[in-house]
Amino acid sequence: MKCTINGIECEFKGGETILEIATRYNIYIPTLCYYKKSSTPTGKCNICAVEIVGKDELVRACVTEAEDGMEILTESEKCITHRREILEKLLAMGYHDCPTCPIPGSCELQDLVFRYGAKGVDLTKAKKKYVVKYITPFIRWDSSKCVQCGRCIQACFDVQVNNAIRIFQVDGEPKKVEEGEFENSRVESKKIIERLKADFKEPILPAPDENFCVSCGECVQACPVGALKSSYEWLGPKKWEMKKVVTTCSYCGVGCQLELYVKNNKVFLVNGANRAPNYGSLCVKGRFGFRFISADDRLKKPLIKENGRFKEVSWDEALDFVANRFSEIKTNYGPDSIGVFASARMTNEENYILQKFTRAVLGTNNIDHCARL
Q: What are phi and psi of 204, to 5 degrees?
A: -120, 120
Using alpha carbons, select from 322, 318, 270 the residue that is nearest to residue 291: 270
Domains and CATH numbers, the chain: 2-75 (3.10.20.740), 108-230 (3.30.70.20), 239-294 (2.20.25.90), 334-373 (no CATH)
pLDDT of residue 184: 46
pLDDT of residue 209: 85
CA 281 – CA 153 distance, rounded (Å): 15
Burial 199-213 (b: 16+ CB within 10 A, else e): eeeebbbbbbbeeeb
pLDDT of residue 78: 96
pLDDT of residue 181: 47
Whole-prediction pTM value? 0.81
pLDDT of residue 2: 95
Q: Is 218 helix (H, G, I), strand (E, B) or coil?
A: helix
Distance of CA 76 to CAs 8, 27, 44, 82, 83, Å? 15, 14, 21, 10, 11
pLDDT of residue 190: 72
Is 111 within 8 Å of 224 (Cβ atoms)? Answer: no
CA 140 – CA 31 distance, rounded (Å): 23
For residue 65, give the DSSP letter: B
Q: pLDDT 10s per residue in the chain (373 long)? A: 999 999 999 999 999 999 999 999 999 999 999 998 987 788 888 999 999 999 999 999 999 999 999 999 999 999 999 999 999 988 887 788 776 676 767 889 989 998 999 987 776 666 666 678 888 999 999 888 888 888 999 999 889 988 888 877 665 455 565 554 444 445 567 777 776 666 545 567 888 888 889 999 999 999 999 899 998 887 778 888 999 999 999 888 788 999 999 999 999 999 999 999 999 999 999 999 999 999 988 898 999 999 999 999 999 999 999 999 999 999 999 999 999 999 877 888 999 999 999 999 999 999 998 777 6
